[in-house]
Structure 1
């Protein structure tokens, strides 16, 4: 046996998730403004960042990510022991862990939870194809047996959306979670849809020992509670930030950065944060034809889209590589197809060769992330110039996350993603993720990438996966962008993070 480790060298641009050491104070309620109402509080069933931000306070996974984006134990006692052939993962569990309903966590709960995850979560379904079996070796040990080596396994068990959360076995046996019951530092007090989600300290919570380390290490419960308030209109979020109405405000339009500086809260910059993406419906409709998708790829002008959305290159970079050059995963493979200014004539030619019959190209977007909507408006003009009839369907974010699960309702939906520490966590890598990208070439290059354990060789193999993305266009990466939020000067103990968390944070009196 050898102790499993993940090498994730993300370079100087990686976010620092380590909180500063100052005197902590207990008490108070942290008030958080979110971009809207979450479509669910079951993080297994959603890849939405909003769902992960809220539910990570109530539910926990076996592993999480530390300040260097390496997997680290959370409910597991240690990183797994892996057999020499890479097929058997033995996971020791922490003991004395209590669920919010007062029951003790055992291996039976973990097995039932992972079985539910493989059944209903997009990343769980992705993983299930490689798993031969999951069993409880004893009350505090879980054994996962794979059909083939699968390097992303621990990273998939670490993420907070489409998440492998641990539930009591009786709840894990249900398709729908009626009441949130987890092991996290905060538990549900009250939810009033479209008004607030009120979490309170879980007094029986058992933190890991040690100093906070990214999402890992000690999770201290300084605040008595956390209230998440949906504020769908971005301008209202800005005004709330300027007035000091909230302790933390998520997703502020970048053009409001100076207003935040001049107001009663402080801007929070994550740089680089991630990438806006146009996801294509490859399953049915006009985008089931590869030549139509290639025409869209040629037509779009990312430089103009990003400039309209962010206003200045201080907040974006028009770059086609799926990871910036400071990341170990950076490669230029396939990026010849990425044209910052677009190529209307090439798009027209590709469209003429395709099956496109003039049907509306339905772009599903939301104004809760204002930059999504702005990019959609610019994209629509370039697509019309190439010969498309474009239909913008603008809905609430919660509605978008529901509609995108039905392939009959859209052709493109707009979202964004942080730069994830493991490329196989990216949504399009799962056959069952909305967009439903399935091809023999995808399976071939992903299988080679995911079965390789050596980090250096994996980095080389990632180039083949990125090439496949550009060749088959399941999605269109617009570029890199920085994200802006805001927080009160009274809120201490936080560092910028793609999914902000409020354990280890406190309010200065």
Structure 2
């Protein structure tokens, strides 16, 4: 009897469990399906600034490509394709560009995108970007023809109009409503209103925790396949969450467990073990998809206001040692690259590189003696909190010391370094002498947009290099008519860059992304984008 009662109780509990499972299973499956429609990512730095016109921070660039759109965009092969533009025409004399917007484009507030909006956006961008400044110097005017058509008229031909309107980095020419674009360009706009594939969920934004993006139901993708930043930006996730994770090991652990799906950059220490994990894919950037290590020199203050002392620093840098400090696996860095426009790209050039023959501490010390260097301190700003800059900065400081420089390393977090780098004051009043930084290769391939030369004599760009030769070369390049002329002038610019020592090149390397293997359709590009991809 007791055994019968026990069996009966077990059967009753089993029946209840089955009944409960019948009730809960649809909810569980629905929850799983909802989770499948959420993409969780971790960017290299946190999203803080929401206006890509007022900053060049990479996290803001990622933000911009989610919520805004551009007239033109660069594809995976480095070609510039229409994006918001349906068609455009260039007059035979190359002075008049007529642009026609795609039909049905809308802002995220439901208003139509107009030619007036685009003109206002171009003017705002041109106040902050070197290429935009150059175009507006040549421009006779911008005018609206009708609601979807506008015209740019130049006084003389400019070689890079389309490339400028589609440039992928630094200050990005995003389009926004005229009511926002007409606000001062030196302050962030108060609203995020774009026409891109995602909407920014400002109410759900938790600085230091997460930023949330929702699929934009008003966005109309182009018909072409996605390629780089161009083509059809088809969104297959309902929601993207950019989760703040400052610690590198925490990020990798979250990727392994599936708490996040995508890392913008995986720290070098984890690349080899993660390659053995069948659930993880490591990106393989090459050429313009890689990064260049740079030393920003302060031309406005001693000792680097002396070109001979700058050349001594140039000869002191051993790129192989700098790259070794990153601890990357074989194949992800180059021992030597002296090309301003990146190696393994169509623009790679040897122009001006003869200056590096016989480079080393001995030649550097000889130049310092010739320059009359008296041991003036070089204040080197060291970003200890940066995975890419921490080790390389210390190696660069050591190389300068071996060459005879008196180096005063000032260690702090990256935000402090970035702020101090803006100062033109002498070192005793908070100035600086050298700052190791990095540049994305995609920003270097166009000579007129390359920060190594494009900001020549610009009063607002840290380093304040100024070479009259480069001013003339930039002007001539902007007016060049043939590819051969452009290539010749680009080579001359690189030679002048090395001769004047605008910056020091520390070496070319990869900082690959990593993602869960069940993600498909990941667009291989230096800037992470979250359209086109889905979960297997």
**Fold in common (TM above 0.5):** yes
> Is residue 134 from structure 1 mapped to residue 142 from structure 2 by the alignment?
yes
Deviation at 1:71, TM superposition (A): 0.5
Change (3 A) 1:177 1:65: same
Residue 492 of structure 2: aligned partner: 464
1:104-503 correspondence runs (5 A) = 104-161=112-169, 162-175=171-184, 176-189=188-201, 190-263=204-277, 264-272=279-287, 273-317=290-334, 318-323=336-341, 326-338=344-356, 342-354=359-371, 356=373, 358-367=375-384, 369-408=386-425, 409-413=431-435, 414-419=437-442, 420-428=444-452, 429-431=454-456, 432=458, 433-503=461-531
Change (3 A) 1:29 1:461: same
The answer to whether the 8 A contact 2:523-2:533 is kept is no
Residue 5 of structure 2: aligned partner: none
Deviation at 1:403, TM superposition (A): 4.0
Paired residue secondary structure (2:205): strand
| TM superposition score normalised by structure 1 | 0.88
1:31-110 correspondence runs (5 A) = 31-78=40-87, 80-110=88-118
After TM superposition, the runs of 4+ consecutive aligned structure 1 residues lying more than 6 A away are none
Cα deviations by residue, 1:304-323 (Å, 9 ceiling, x for unpaired): 11112244542211121234
Which is worse superposed, 443-452 or 317-326? 317-326
Deviation at 1:33, TM superposition (A): 0.7
The answer to whether the 8 A contact 1:137-1:143 is kept is yes
Deviation at 1:398, TM superposition (A): 4.5
In the alignment, structure 2 segments of 5+ residues that lack a partner are 1-33, 426-430
Deviation at 1:383, TM superposition (A): 0.7
Which is worse superposed, 405-414 or 421-430? 405-414
Deviation at 1:488, TM superposition (A): 0.8
In the alignment, structure 1 segments of 5+ residues that lack a partner are 1-24
Deviation at 1:467, TM superposition (A): 0.2
Change (3 A) 1:209 1:311: closer
**Bigger radius of gyration, 1 or 2?**
2
Deviation at 1:397, TM superposition (A): 4.0
More helix by share: 2
Which is worse superposed, 418-427 or 189-198? 418-427
Change (3 A) 1:129 1:100: same
**Distance (Å, rounded) in 1 between the aligned partners of 2:89 and 2:104:** 21
Deviation at 1:125, TM superposition (A): 3.1
The answer to whether the 8 A contact 1:62-1:158 is kept is yes
Cα deviations by residue, 1:27-70 (Å, 9 ceiling, x for unpaired): 61211111122452211122233321222101111100123211
Deviation at 1:121, TM superposition (A): 3.5
Deviation at 1:463, TM superposition (A): 1.0
Deviation at 1:122, TM superposition (A): 4.5
The answer to whether the 8 A contact 2:263-2:515 is kept is yes
Which of the pair has the greater relative contact order for Cα pairs under 8 Å at 6+ separation? 1
Change (3 A) 1:469 1:436: same
**Distance (Å, rounded) in 2 between the aligned partners of 1:239 and 1:208:** 37
**Distance (Å, rounded) in 2 between the aligned partners of 1:391 and 1:247:** 41
**Distance (Å, rounded) in 1 between the aligned partners of 2:372 and 2:55:** 33
Change (3 A) 1:311 1:71: closer
**Distance (Å, rounded) in 2 between the aligned partners of 1:424 and 1:112:** 23
**Distance (Å, rounded) in 2 between the aligned partners of 1:315 and 1:54:** 27
The answer to whether the 8 A contact 1:39-1:398 is kept is no
Which is worse superposed, 447-456 or 198-207? 447-456
Change (3 A) 1:291 1:229: farther
Change (3 A) 1:192 1:342: farther
Change (3 A) 1:187 1:476: same
**Distance (Å, rounded) in 2 between the aligned partners of 1:138 and 1:354:** 61
Deviation at 1:494, TM superposition (A): 0.6
**Distance (Å, rounded) in 2 between the aligned partners of 1:127 and 1:26:** 46
Paired residue secondary structure (1:197): strand
Which is worse superposed, 147-156 or 370-379? 147-156
Residue 4 of structure 1: aligned partner: none
The answer to whether the 8 A contact 1:297-1:337 is kept is no
Residue 4 of structure 2: aligned partner: none
**Distance (Å, rounded) in 2 between the aligned partners of 1:277 and 1:158:** 25
Deviation at 1:498, TM superposition (A): 0.3
**Distance (Å, rounded) in 2 between the aligned partners of 1:136 and 1:232:** 46
